[in-house]
């Protein structure tokens, strides 16, 4: 019986280690995406979005191309003057898909006005040969 349990544990360990690695990689992509936005690196941000990515915010749905042509510039300008603290983050993995829900607090100054907001973000990522890429983003925020 001990041998069976030991064998079972050995079988489970690689899956657990793999899930931890996948979770860390997914979070790294999300953090890199936010860093590229805050650093006004539009090419870096777009490289992390899958070709079929969609962005939902403020009641609108944008394609990857629509985001690049419009809202991306405003997001970079906004985040350049902000400090964001992650309050909570949950990563869920299912094969080559991951979804991550994050709650954050953002503080700073934008166009001469103080900002103190609470944000909710849902990102869906897919794994391909090139690694994890963002397939969908949904952002919402409100005053704190």
Tell whether the model's pLDDT for residue 83 goes beyond 60. yes
- pLDDT-derived band at 3 (thresholds 50, 70, 90) equals low
Residue 3 or residue 135, greater confidence? 135
- Average pLDDT in the 5-32 region? 73
Percent of the chain with pLDDT over 90: 82
Going by C-alpha positions, the residue among 138, 99, 139 that lies closest to residue 119 is 139
Is the separation of the CB atoms in 109 and 81 below 8 Å?
A: yes
Q: Distances in Å between the alpha carbon of 139 and those of 93, 116, 122? A: 20, 16, 7
- Dihedral over Cα of 103, 89, 71, 108: its sign: positive
Is pLDDT above 80 for 101?
Answer: yes
131-140 CB burial, b ≥16 within 10 A, e <16: ebbbbbbeee
Residue 19: the pLDDT is 79
- pLDDT at position 106 is 97
- What CATH number has the domain spanning 21-143? 3.10.450.50
33: nearest Cα among 128, 139, 144 = 139
Q: Are 126 and 50 in contact (CB under 8 A)?
A: yes
β-pairing, 60-63 vs 82-94, is unpaired
Query: What percentage of the chain carries pLDDT values higher than 70?
Result: 88
**18-35: average pLDDT:** 94
């Amino acid at each position: 019986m001990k041998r069976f349990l030991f064998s079972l544990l050995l079988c489970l360990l690689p899956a657990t280690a793999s899930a931890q690695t996948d979770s860390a990689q997914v979070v790294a992509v999300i953090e890199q995406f936010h860093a590229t936005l805050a650093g006004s690196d539009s090419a870096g941000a777009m490289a992390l979005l899958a070709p079929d990515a969609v962005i939902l915010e403020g009641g609108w749905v944008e394609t990857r191309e629509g985001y690049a042509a419009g809202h991306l510039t405003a997001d970079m300008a906004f985040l350049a003057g902000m400090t964001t603290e992650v309050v909570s983050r949950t990563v869920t993995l299912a094969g080559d898909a991951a979804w991550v829900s994050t709650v954050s607090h953002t503080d700073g100054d934008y166009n001469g006005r103080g900002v103190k907001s609470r944000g909710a973000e849902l990102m869906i990522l897919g794994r391909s040969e090139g690694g994890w890429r963002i397939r969908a983003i949904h952002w919402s925020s409100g005053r704190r």
